[in-house]
Amino acid sequence: MIPGRFEYHQPESLDAAVGLLGKLGEDARVIAGGHSLIPMMKLRLAMPEHLVDLKAITDLKHITVDGGVISIGAMTTQAELIGSAELALAAPIVKETALQIADPQIRYQGTIGGNVANGDPGNDMPALMQCLDASFVLQGPDGQREVSAREFYEAAYFTAREDLEILSAVKFAVCSGGYAYEKQKRKIGDYATAAAAVLLTKGGDGGCSHAAIALTNLADTPLYCEEASNSLMQSGVDAASIDGAVASCMSIIEPVEDNRGPAEFKKHAASMVLRRAIELAWSRA
């Protein structure tokens, strides 16, 4: 299928890109790796008249670890996340998650910015960002602001990003505890039937001093499971508390039937991946 006609723009700075969006208005869309947007354009589900390509903006491509804070530029590809030795040490769950996205060809083009900004509940990075308690840096005509990943997602394809804002980076703290991203999919290259991101830190007394759980593709938005995370911190991580955390997460998911299976099957898959992720994260803590 062939997309509709559009004009192509390639600004060389973030300010120029924000300026172009302001000038071109609602007929313009930014394009990053194009691996979500181009398929939508080919299906004519998106018909932008102007594409503002972020590829030439070198400031948007970086991975830095400084003072316990990790900053990743929006145009950093999933392959670059996987290849960064510094990131693998500072937050190994990012590599574990990126390796489960699509296939190598898509990961060479797809960016972290496009993955989190898109608002597709099937994307893997949004739940990971909620689990990491990341902030998204947004640059717009009125300057820069930061929005928590846990407050960014409003509904499928609707986020707190204003139309004239560009996501420039994601930021989160270095994570030292146990981690796991477990994903159930039909085949290599597929989106999640259900996936779970879990971070657990063991305290000096052997209890759980920090817990964070988030889920992918089990509702309209990624789900940060606050109650389940708190319950693991309060009662430690044993068989009974894992049962309780899984039950708490299952009470907030709202999967819908589609070609990945009926809702009941997805609930079952969700409970399996979540239990596996908690057990693996705790064994690594």
Ligand X SMILES: Cc1cc2nc3c(=O)[nH]c(=O)nc-3n(C[C@H](O)[C@H](O)[C@H](O)COP(=O)(O)OP(=O)(O)OC[C@H]3O[C@@H](n4cnc5c(N)ncnc54)[C@H](O)[C@@H]3O)c2cc1C
Give the three-class secondary structure for 198.
strand
CA dist., res. 153 & res. 166, Å (int): 15
Give the three-class secondary structure for 134.
coil
Q: By rule CB under 6 A, what string of x and - marks binding of each residue 65-104 to ligand X? A: ---------x--------------------------xx--
Q: Give buried/exposed letters for 67-84 (b at 16+ CB in 10 A, else e).
A: eeebbbbbbbbbbbbbeb
Show the beta-strand stretches assigned E in 174-234. Answer: 178-184, 194-202, 208-216, 223-224
- Residues of span 164-203 touching ligand X by CB under 6 A: 166-167, 189, 191
- Residues of span 201-220 touching ligand X by CB under 6 A: none
Signed CA dihedral, 217, 198, 75, 79: sign only: negative
Q: By rule CB under 6 A, what string of x and - marks binding of each residue 9-48 to ligand X? A: --------------------xxxxxxxxx-x---------
- Which range in 106-114, 146-154, 226-234, 272-280 contacts ligand X by CB under 6 A? 106-114
Could you tell me if residue 128 is left (phi over 0), alpha (psi between -120 and 50 degrees) or otherwise beta? alpha
CA dist., res. 37 & res. 3, Å (int): 10
The count of chain residues that interact with ligand X, using the rule CB under 6 A, is: 30
Residue 131 found at the interface with ligand X (CB under 6 A)? no
Helix 239-250 with 226-235: angle, nearest 10 deg: 170
- Residues of span 234-263 touching ligand X by CB under 6 A: none
> Is the CB of 42 or the CB of 247 nearer to ligand X?
42
> Is the CB of 145 or the CB of 210 nearer to ligand X?
145
C-beta atoms surrounding 185 within 10 Å: 17
Please identify the residue of the shown chain whose CB is closest to the bound ligand X. Answer: 114
As measured in angstroms, the least distance from the Cβ of 175 to ligand X is: 20
Select the residue interacting with ligand X from 80, 96, 124, 182 (CB under 6 A): 124
> Is the CB of 14 or the CB of 173 nearer to ligand X?
14
**Contact positions vs ligand X (CB under 6 A):** 29-37, 39, 54, 74, 101-102, 106, 109-111, 113-115, 117-118, 123-125, 166-167, 189, 191
